[in-house]
Structure formats: C-alpha cells, structure tokens
Amino acid sequence: MRWRIDLEESLAIALSALRANKARGVLTTLGIIIGIVAVIMTMTAAHGLQSAFRQSFSAVGSDVIYVSRFPWIIMNDFFLYRNRPPMDLHDADELAARLKGKAIVNPTMGGQQDVKYLNETMDGVSIVGTTEKRTLVASGQADKGHFLTDFEVQYKKNVCVIGTDIEKALFKGTDPLGKELKIGRATFRVVGVMEKQGGGFLGGPSLDRQIYVPITSYIRAYGGKRLDVNLGVKARTQEGLDDLEYEVIGQMRTIRGLRPNEKDDFSINKLDTLVGAFDNVMGVVLLVGLLITSISLFVGGVGVMNVMFVSVTERTREIGIRKAIGAKPHSILFQFLFESAAICLTGGFIGIAIASLLTAVLNATVMPASVSPGILLTAVVVAVAVGGIAGLMPALKGARMNPVDALRYE
C-alpha cells in the first residue's frame, strides 16, 4: 500500500513539474519525436517492401517448380550458366511424359516487343509464349473472352490474350476482342483480356502489361532456336513438392543425357528460395537502418538526460524539504524517472502520429505500407526505455542527496 502511495505521489509531482516547464518539455521531446519517426518509418518501409515483393511474385506460385537454364539468383560465374545448352519444347514434352500425370508441365518463353493498334503504340511490352496450361500453373484467369486453348497452341494460331494495362492504353474503352494487334513484326488477334493482377515491384514489369500468345506461334514469329524455354511444373499437392523436385531433377538429367559424374546443366527454381533470399537481404537492410536511426534516439536521450540533470539541480531545495519531512530515496528516484519517461512517452505518441501520416502517404504513392500493432508497441516500449535510461542517472543523483546539504543549497 505504501509503495502505491509513493508511486502516485511521485507521478503527480512529475506531471506538475512538466506542466510548469512546458517550453523546456516541448523542446526536449523533439529529439525523441525524430527518433521514433525514424524507427517506425524504417520498420514500416522494410515491411512494405516485403509485402510488395510477395504480392508482385504471388503469381509465381509456392507449389510450382521452375526448370530453366539459369537460376533466378546467380551467385557464381555467369559464364558457367551461359555455356549450358538451351532448353526447348522437346524437354517439356519429355518431362511431361515421364512424370506420367504426377504434375502439370507448362513451357514458357518470352521477350519484349513494341505493340501497335491503329495509331496507338506501346513500347517494350512483355510478350509471353505459353500454353493453355498456364492458368493451371500460375494465378490469373481471363476476365473477357477466353485464355489460349490447346487447339490454338497446337495449330500455331496467331491469337493473343492481353493484360488490363494493354487494353486501357491501346483500346481506350472500346472492346478489344476480335481486334488485331501488331506485335513486333507479326499480327495477332485478341481473343481474351486477363483479370487485373498487379505486380510491378519497385518499377519492375507489371503482370497487367503482358501479352500471352501460343508458344508455338511465338517460336514461329520470333525464332526459338536462340531462346530458352522455361518449364513450370506444378505439383498436385503441396506436401509432395519436395519428392517431386527430386524426381524432376532425375528425369531432367535423363532427358539431357547427363552421366552420373556430370553436373546439372539446368536449374531448379522455387518461390521459397527467392523469398528466402529477399528476406535475408531485407533483414540486413533493416538491421543497418535501425542502427542508423538509433543514433537519433541516442541524441534525443542525451538531450533528455541533460534536461533532467538541470531539473534535479534546480529543485535541490525541494528534494531537501521532501526528505526532511520523510520522503524515502525511492520516492525521489521515481519522481524523476516518471518525469523523464513522461517526456519520452509524449514524444513517442507524437512521433507515432507523424509516422502514421507519413505511412499513409507512402501507401498511397509508392508501395503498400501500414503501421502494424507490433510496430506501435515497439515504438512505445522504445520511448519508455529511452526515458528510463536517460532519467536514471539524474534520478539517482537526486535520490542520493543529503537532506541537510540540499536544504542549504541556494
């Protein structure tokens, strides 16, 4: 009970002191505000980048194995992969036959071409040669018309399915179905429009800025001997993905005619590998960012400590009087700790409000971002911790004062 009374009394005195020195308190909180804003924005930006990355690559699929000539992340000498023989449709047909229905195999290849409709032109559009199995392997369906069919792929029809950005830029609100597009040097008829898929991580290619054509037509129109085919292999169940990966590696080695002592001349890529590598990089970036932003918090904490030393010195007689009438050292200690914590907590709440506003602007203009409850809790804990640490030495100085010397202080 006595401890509770002491705590309430110390808190009341601390708040009274803050009200008596408003200008000093406001100036002192500026360092804390800047530090808290920096910490929150660093964590929010890192979380937003991770969300944007995952959203951008969500169409890849976590239950799909991609077999290609090059790995998605090249850590070694590029020339080791450049000298590999290219993959072709024969590899796709052989792998599908050898897997015997255990998985769906979809070959793709692509590049960029200029696209023209009447007087409207788009430069550098991603053209993807694929098959009707694309909608089974990756996300996204046709919103208008239909996606590519087996008939159109088998008989090399010059048809295409366009993304929503292509529809808006070239057709200006008119129905694109049945219209003919000039894609590079070839002409394709529009048979479908994909649903909006998003993407475009950090300015990268957007899934809505792609055009899908039959892979057989792509090879005939743009030449396939110097182009690589990538194979998307979708497992029937998520649980069987690891077993399927080993089987795909074994079957591909057989298809490519590799001897037991020869290394793979193809790469196995999965979304988990890409996400894991990105998370590792972002972890390092976040750590470095927090170390840098902690400097501003350190400066703010030093400012609070300096003000608290001044406050203890100014109230030396008050401390002497309180001790003379029976105040315990811990009451004096709590009084100044509460005062320091209150300054930092006030700065923390103001910093949270400013950071929330900046996050809303970031979310509306650059990338998906939000201040999560975990980030808010971290900000509050950091503010209180800085206040406690910064006020500890001044509070100890006040608590250890000799009441006689304090009363004689002028």
The C-alpha atoms of residue 186 and residue 213 are separated, in whole angstroms, by 11
Q: Does residue 331 surpass a pLDDT of 90?
A: no
CB atoms within 10 A of CB 69: 16
Q: Does residue 173 surpass a pLDDT of 70?
A: yes
Nearest by Cα to 269 from 24, 101, 57, 35: 57
Residues 6+ apart with CB under 8 A from 385: none
Residue with more model confidence, 52 or 298 = 298
44 and 93 assigned to the same domain: no
3-state DSSP of 86-132: CCCHHHHHHHHHHHCCCEEEEEEEEEEEEEEECCEEEEEEEEEEECC
151 and 179 assigned to the same domain: yes
Q: Does residue 330 surpass a pLDDT of 80?
A: no
Residue 405 has a pLDDT of: 65
Domain span at 68? 63-269
Q: Report the number of distinct structural domains present in the chain.
A: 2
Across the range 23-37, mean pLDDT stands at 76
139 and 246 assigned to the same domain: yes
Q: First and final CA of the chain: distance in angstroms?
A: 35
35 and 89 assigned to the same domain: no
359 and 329 assigned to the same domain: yes
214 and 317 assigned to the same domain: no
Query: What one-character-per-residue DSSP string does 299-362 give?
Result: HHHHHHHHHHHHHHHHTHHHHHHHHHTT--HHHHHHHHHHHHHHHHHHHHHHHHHHHHHHHHHH
pLDDT band, residue 20 (cuts 50/70/90):
low
242 and 365 assigned to the same domain: no
The C-alpha atoms of residue 68 and residue 265 are separated, in whole angstroms, by 9
Q: Last residue of some domain: 269, 304, 321? A: 269
Q: Does residue 211 surpass a pLDDT of 90?
A: yes
Across the range 329-339, mean pLDDT stands at 77
216 and 348 assigned to the same domain: no
Residue 271 has a pLDDT of: 77
Residues 213-250: tens digit of each pLDDT: 999 999 998 875 567 899 999 877 666 677 888 888 89
The C-alpha atoms of residue 217 and residue 201 are separated, in whole angstroms, by 29
234 and 299 assigned to the same domain: no
Residue 348 has a pLDDT of: 84
pLDDT band, residue 199 (cuts 50/70/90):
low
Highest-confidence segment of 71-85, 253-267, 279-293, 361-375 = 253-267
190 and 331 assigned to the same domain: no
Angle of CA points 128, 131, 133, to nearest 5°? 120
The C-alpha atoms of residue 385 and residue 344 are separated, in whole angstroms, by 9
Q: Does residue 16 surpass a pLDDT of 80?
A: no
Residues 6+ apart with CB under 8 A from 213: 127, 128, 129, 130, 148, 158, 159, 160, 161, 183, 188, 221
Beta bridge partner(s), residue 180: 189
242 and 304 assigned to the same domain: no
Q: Last residue of some domain: 220, 248, 269? A: 269
122 and 221 assigned to the same domain: yes
Q: Last residue of some domain: 231, 247, 269? A: 269
> Using an 8 Å Cβ cutoff, are 266 and 95 in contact?
no
